[in-house]
Amino acid sequence: MSHDMDYTSQAINKKKKELEDQARIEISMEKLKLAKEQRCILQSQADIIQNMRKAMKEVRVDRDLLKKDKKKLEYLIGDLLKVGHCSKDKLERIKAIVDE
Question: Is the separation of the CB atoms in 98 and 73 below 8 Å?
Answer: yes
pLDDT over 70 (residue 24): yes
Confidence of residue 86 (pLDDT cuts 50, 70, 90): low
d(CA 17, CA 23): 10
Q: Looking at 37-41, 72-76, 78-82, which range is the least confident one? A: 78-82
* Percent over 70 (pLDDT), the chain: 89
This prediction has a pTM of 0.52
pLDDT mean over 66-84: 82
